[in-house]
Structure 1
Amino acid sequence: MTLITTDDLKALFARIAEAMVREKDHLCELDGVIGDADHGIAMELGFSAAAKAVSELDSTTSDPTLVFNTAARSFLNAVGASSGPLYATAFMRAGAAAKGKSSLNDDDIVEVFAAFAKGIQDRGKAEVGEKTMVDAWAPAAAACRAARDQGLPLAECLAAALRAGEAGADATKDMIAAKGRSSRLGERALGHMDPGAASAVAVIGCFREHFTP
């Protein structure tokens, strides 16, 4: 069983921020087809702000809940667009799942991951099949929990989550959007991956990399 400290969570946010720098142009390109081409910018700004804010916390006096709550506030302050409240809610839910714990174990990370996904779904009021980031997050969380219920180690749970998230994101190419700006495009959005689902896969991939020995 892994012991996950506040420093580990700080490093996770740094890893995600670095991934968003790499993915920014690709995400903006995806968003340019069905949105206003700024999703990559928003994700880079939000996660960079979150990573910076949590890096400044005193690890000796900070618990995981404070890390997630700090990330929530900083992400929301940096990103006023739709993804801001979604990820801020995800971090707050993750913080609630970790409440009262000075460090986390493998089971806790599975709970945090599930809370993260549920927060996005609840705040966005979206269901699978509506061409949003929920199409990646919801199946990823379900796969992660199912793998853990089978007794698999955390790394394999997150690998299963990534596979499910990738499949979910890929499936958005065949969907007509029901939410957001892209819903105005109707069938013109067919054939294009939802940018929110694509960025979700990048975040999930960082979880898998970070918690794989």
Structure 2
Amino acid sequence: MLDADFFRRWMTATAASVDREAQRLTALDSEIGDADHGINMQRGFTAVTAALEEEAPDTPGAVLVLAARQLISKVGGASGPLYGTLLRRTGKELGDTAEVGEEQLAAALREGVDAVMKLGGAAPGDKTMIDALVPAVDALADGFAAARAAAEQGAEATIPLQARKGRASYLGERSIGHQDPGATSSALLIAALEEAAEG
């Protein structure tokens, strides 16, 4: 069973990973976006870890809702609302229970991903974070390592795609040949689940 400590570890592992990869995320974003994705995500997840140290929520759902609030208020551009929606909806689906199973997490995360698709109007193949998140959620039934691999493959699979949503879509065919920064940061979020489980 996964408790609030697991979810705190998930968020802090994501923050550490975003910290390490911030320059790469910004470099990817400089090719097809506003060149600020790494910096924005870093600022958001730094705020998440600070808030979790201050408040220490005692249920999995509350951890994610608190993280969502920080991301919505601190991350610029579209990423704040999209990541905030993902975590808030997932947290709301988990409810007030003190512990959740992996199946519950997978079902809640699917609701979160659906909410992101609704908010952003993106579908798989549009070269967005959805291209990493959908395969990850599909693979979660086989465990965190499978989800991580699926998310990483999904992010890499955005390279040959032409962007149909977001800032990159303005580039048309020039968006082809670049890995999507949102899919890349989403893969970091999923990879951190496996780290949290090991920790």
* TM-score clears 0.5: yes
Letter in 2 for 1:208: E
Instruction: Quote the offset at 1:106 in angstroms.
Output: 2.5
Task: Give the TM-score, by structure 1 length.
Answer: 0.87
Q: In terms of mean alpha carbon deviation, does 62-71 or 194-203 score higher?
A: 62-71
Contact 2:28 2:178 in 1 (8 A): yes
Instruction: Structure 2: give runs of 5+ residues left out of the alignment.
Output: none
Instruction: Quote the offset at 1:143 in angstroms.
Output: 1.7
Q: In terms of mean alpha carbon deviation, does 18-27 or 45-54 score higher?
A: 45-54
Paired residue secondary structure (2:159): helix
Instruction: Quote the offset at 1:195 in angstroms.
Output: 0.6
Q: Over the residues paired in the alignment, what is the CA RMSD in angstroms?
A: 1.6
Question: Could you say which residue in structure 2 is the equivalent of 1:132?
Answer: 128
Match of 2:34 among 32, 36, 46: 36
Instruction: Structure 1: give runs of 5+ residues left out of the alignment.
Output: 148-156
CA distance in 2 between partners of 1:210 and 1:11 (Å): 5
Task: Give the TM-score, by structure 2 length.
Answer: 0.93
CA distance in 1 between partners of 2:192 and 2:55 (Å): 21
Contact 1:135 1:168 in 2 (8 A): yes
Instruction: Report sequence identity in percent.
Output: 37
CA distance in 1 between partners of 2:69 and 2:198 (Å): 28
Q: Does 1:116 align with 2:112?
A: yes
Question: Could you say which residue in structure 2 is the equivalent of 1:143?
Answer: 139
For these two proteins, the number of residue pairs brought into alignment is 199
CA distance in 1 between partners of 2:101 and 2:55 (Å): 21
Contact 1:33 1:192 in 2 (8 A): yes
Letter in 2 for 1:143: A
Question: Could you say which residue in structure 1 is the equivalent of 2:96?
Answer: 100
Question: Could you say which residue in structure 2 is the equivalent of 1:83?
Answer: 79
CA distance in 2 between partners of 1:118 and 1:110 (Å): 12
